[in-house]
């Protein structure tokens, strides 16, 4: 197969995979190629889409997967498309809860409430409904409380490859500084 044929095959695969995207391992399996070959092929495709100013889409790597994404240059048009009375941003309570989960995961609801100082049932429901958090297990001990963590959709929503890209919290503070985390999340919620 020629390089252009491989590229066309990858485009078809990425389109079919949609928001799930494909990992290098998946591409290796489907295309019967070695890891280095897939990585070189993907590097070429990513560069090609970024350099081609006539295209409205790009191939990006996010959370360990490659997927199609719209170019930022067209964000105003996309915003108009999705604006509706039902499109909502996250409330302050949801942002606070999400920040705590992102930095402290896995974490129980009672631990979140202890940090926030208020109930978190509604923000947890909102974040779960938006697929930004999920149940990642159960705590040991009486009651076996649900442990919450972030999802791949969380990484995608905030444009992160992994949790290591979250801005660091101050080392000098022993307690969780909600304000610093809120600044990060608020910048994406506008």
Q: Which of 8-17, 107-116, 163-172 has the lowest mean pLDDT?
A: 163-172
Whole-angstrom distance between the N-terminal and C-terminal Cα of the chain? 46
13 CA to centre of own chain: 20
List, in order of start, the domains of the chain with CATH numbers: 3-72 (1.10.10.10), 92-188 (1.10.10.10)
In tens, the pLDDT along 18-69 reads: 878 899 999 999 999 999 999 999 999 999 999 998 999 999 998 889 999 9
- Distance CA(36)–CA(45), nearest Å, equals 14
- Distance CA(98)–CA(94), nearest Å, equals 6
Residue 63 phi/psi, 5-degree rounding, is 55, 40
156 to 29, 33, 39, 74: CA distances (angstroms): 24, 27, 21, 18
- Residue 133's nearest CA partner among 121, 146, 150 is 150
Q: What is the mean pLDDT of residues 89-93?
A: 83
The pLDDT, as a whole number, for residue 190 is 47
Q: What tokens does 168 get? A: 């660091």
């Amino acid at each position: 197969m020629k390089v252009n044929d491989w590229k066309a095959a990858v485009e078809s695969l990425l389109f079919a995979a949609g928001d799930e995207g494909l990992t290098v391992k998946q591409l290796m399996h489907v295309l019967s190629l070695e890891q280095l070959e897939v990585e070189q092929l993907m590097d070429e495709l990513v560069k090609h889409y970024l350099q081609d100013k006539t295209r409205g889409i790009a191939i990006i790597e996010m959370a360990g997967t490659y997927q199609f994404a719209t170019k930022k240059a067209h964000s105003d048009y996309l915003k108009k498309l999705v604006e509706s009375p039902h499109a909502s941003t996250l409330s302050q309570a949801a942002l606070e809860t999400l920040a705590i989960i992102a930095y402290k995961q896995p974490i129980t609801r009672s631990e979140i409430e202890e940090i926030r100082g208020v109930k978190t049932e509604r923000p947890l429901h909102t974040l779960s409904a938006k697929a930004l958090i999920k149940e990642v297990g159960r705590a040991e001990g009486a009651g076996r409380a649900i442990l919450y963590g972030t999802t791949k959709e969380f990484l995608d929503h905030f444009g992160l490859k992994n949790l290591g890209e979250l801005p660091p919290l101050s080392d000098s503070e022993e307690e969780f500084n909600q304000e610093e985390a809120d600044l990060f999340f608020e910048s994406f919620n506008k």
